[in-house]
Amino acid sequence: MSQLEIRNLHVSIEDKEILKGLTLTINQGEVHAIMGPNGTGKSTLAYTLMGHPNYTVTAGEIIFKGKNLLELESDERSRAGIFLAFQYPVAIPGVTVANFLRTAVNARRRAENPEDKGIPILEFRKMLKEKMAMLKMDQAFAGRYLNDGFSGGEKKRAEILQMATLKPEIAILDETDSGLDIDALRIVSEGVNALSGPELGVLVITHYQRLLNYIKPHFVHIMMHGRIVESGGPDLALHLEEQGYDWVREKYEEAV
């Protein structure tokens, strides 16, 4: 079983410390949710895990399958089994969803074997058709330019399709519910649930309980001041929905 272990992580952006000793462990098969007010470092955590160059790790470790991810480039982290679904996916006019995904699959294959000639077109089409059927997506979606003119819900579904195709072991969903109406939220959540299971660990970053009505977490964590200050089960998210963050702030301030 693969495990992502974040140990005492400190991260700065332009000399401003954002993460201040964050510790968290995620195993394959587990669904974790991180909630917290704006500006507390949730997206910083997501980008740091994936190796964004603007985020400087000043202390701590990120261990995945016995390796320190901080020693790996972003593409190496992806090939190791980490996936990040962006809050604001970028449009790539002129590149179809199918071509983008086939290129990504081939890049992984060639990284493992430089002599690999790439996945055969018929094999790829069969695989993509199966993934799209599992996610209840129209097959015509594959022929559209990636995120070009997509609605918010379509962009997020494209991210989930990437996740299904690349088959990561740990997936990070950075505010996947951002900008989605209820119907789109349900559809995207169904896609995540279809992929969840013993082979996939998921870290859901969100502001709102509503996403967790569809994606059921095993663990919920509250993040403040750059670290996790409270952890619990699904009921913790419901308590936040009812009571807000004031009780957490008071408890945290008393502790420090």
Q: 253 or 233: whose pLDDT is higher?
A: 233
What does pLDDT average to over the chain? 91
How many whole angstroms separate alpha carbon 30 and alpha carbon 198?
A: 8
What pLDDT does residue 254 have?
Answer: 56
How many whole angstroms separate alpha carbon 131 and alpha carbon 4?
A: 26
119 pLDDT tier (thresholds 50, 70, 90): very high
Q: Are strands 219-224 and 227-232 parallel, antiparallel or unpaired?
A: antiparallel
Reply yes or no on whether the pLDDT at 156 is more than 70.
yes
Q: In this structure, what is the dihedral angle of CA atoms 76, 80, 84, 85, given to the nearest 10 degrees? A: 110
Q: Mean pLDDT across the stretch 157-181?
A: 90
What would the pLDDT profile of 178-200 be if each residue is shown by its tens digit?
778 888 888 888 888 888 889 99
Q: Which pTM value belongs to this model?
A: 0.91
What pLDDT does residue 222 have?
Answer: 95
Rg of the chain (C-alpha set): 19
Is residue 125 within 8 A of residue 64, CB to CB? The reply is no
What pLDDT does residue 241 have?
Answer: 84
The amino acid at residue 168 is P
120 pLDDT tier (thresholds 50, 70, 90): very high
Residue ranges of E strands in the chain? 3-13, 16-27, 31-35, 56-64, 67-68, 82-85, 92-96, 145-146, 170-174, 201-205, 219-224, 227-232
Reply yes or no on whether the pLDDT at 255 is more than 60.
no
177 pLDDT tier (thresholds 50, 70, 90): confident
Nearest in space to 212 (alpha carbons), one of 173, 238, 242: 238
The amino acid at residue 124 is F
What pLDDT does residue 180 have?
Answer: 82
Sign of the torsion formed by the C-alpha atoms of 73, 76, 81 and 87: positive
87 pLDDT tier (thresholds 50, 70, 90): confident
Domain 3-255 matching CATH 3.40.640.10: the answer reads no
How many whole angstroms separate alpha carbon 46 and alpha carbon 67?
A: 18
How many whole angstroms separate alpha carbon 206 and alpha carbon 211?
A: 8
Is residue 226 within 8 A of residue 18, CB to CB? The reply is yes
How many whole angstroms separate alpha carbon 245 and alpha carbon 251?
A: 10
How many whole angstroms separate alpha carbon 217 and alpha carbon 209?
A: 11
Q: Mean pLDDT across the stretch 164-173?
A: 94
163 pLDDT tier (thresholds 50, 70, 90): very high
Reply yes or no on whether the pLDDT at 160 is more than 60.
yes
What would the pLDDT profile of 130-142 be if each residue is shown by its tens digit?
999 988 889 999 9
How many whole angstroms separate alpha carbon 31 and alpha carbon 200?
A: 9
Q: Mean pLDDT across the stretch 34-45?
A: 91
